[in-house]
Structure 1
């Protein structure tokens, strides 16, 4: 399995510097609900420290964790694709410090700086590919340990 991409390290230095001009430092205490599935995806974060759980709602009272994120990871990619709604929910598993980015501002910057736009889309695509690979591996493991019974 490939290593997860650390999005800021993957951007070329000039593009990283332009993006970081838009960063706001934020803090989420442990157990803070950061966003819910179906909500408006109008921002994203790069985690500086702490841990975030991505989850999928199974019912009004039950959620299942689908991934864990940590330092350097991208939190939120739904801001990049219509209908701009979160596909998962996210909760601070521990105290979290992160860089927060306003999606509309970043998208305007990407239109003005196509090198940044291309680099950012490539990085997000790599993040998505890695998460898909990880999820596939987890599903295969669950399938194998249950003897092929779903």
Structure 2
């Protein structure tokens, strides 16, 4: 399995500079809800430090963590694809510092610079493929444990 792609280091320096010009530094205290599943996905973040858990609401009282993201990881991809709604919720697992990008200016930049747009979409697709593979591995591991326990 390949390692996780990091958005900013995967972009060539000139494209990274153009994207970074649209970002701003933000922070989230530990236990802050960053977004909720079903909400409007109009921005994304690149985590500088700290950890964020992605979760899925399974009952009205219970959330299940589906992934934990850390330094260099992309938080939020739903801004790129209709219907532009978050598929998961996200919470700061520790104090988090990140670069925040509003979707609309980034999408406009991608229209102005189709090469940057294509590169950005390719990198996000690689990130999603990696996360899907990790989730598949976790599901297979849980299935194997479940079968061995005879449940």
What TM-score, normalized to structure 2? Answer: 0.97
Number of equivalences: 150
- The aligned residue for residue 79 of structure 1 is 79
Distance in 2 (CA, whole Å) between partners of 1:68 and 1:32 is 15
- The aligned residue for residue 41 of structure 1 is 41
Distance in 2 (CA, whole Å) between partners of 1:24 and 1:11 is 18
- The aligned residue for residue 12 of structure 2 is 12
Output aligned runs, 1:129-144, within 5 Å: 129-144=129-144
Distance in 2 (CA, whole Å) between partners of 1:104 and 1:82 is 13
Cα RMSD for the two superposed structures: 1.1
- The aligned residue for residue 2 of structure 1 is 2
1:146 counterpart SS class: helix
Output aligned runs, 1:1-150, within 5 Å: 1-147=1-147
What TM-score, normalized to structure 1? Answer: 0.98
2:127 counterpart SS class: helix
Kindly report structure 1 stretches of 4+ aligned residues shifted beyond 4 Å: none
Deviation at 1:2, TM superposition (A): 1.6
1:85 counterpart SS class: coil
Distance in 2 (CA, whole Å) between partners of 1:74 and 1:37 is 17
Deviation at 1:112, TM superposition (A): 0.3
Unpaired segments ≥5 residues, structure 2: none
Distance in 2 (CA, whole Å) between partners of 1:35 and 1:61 is 17
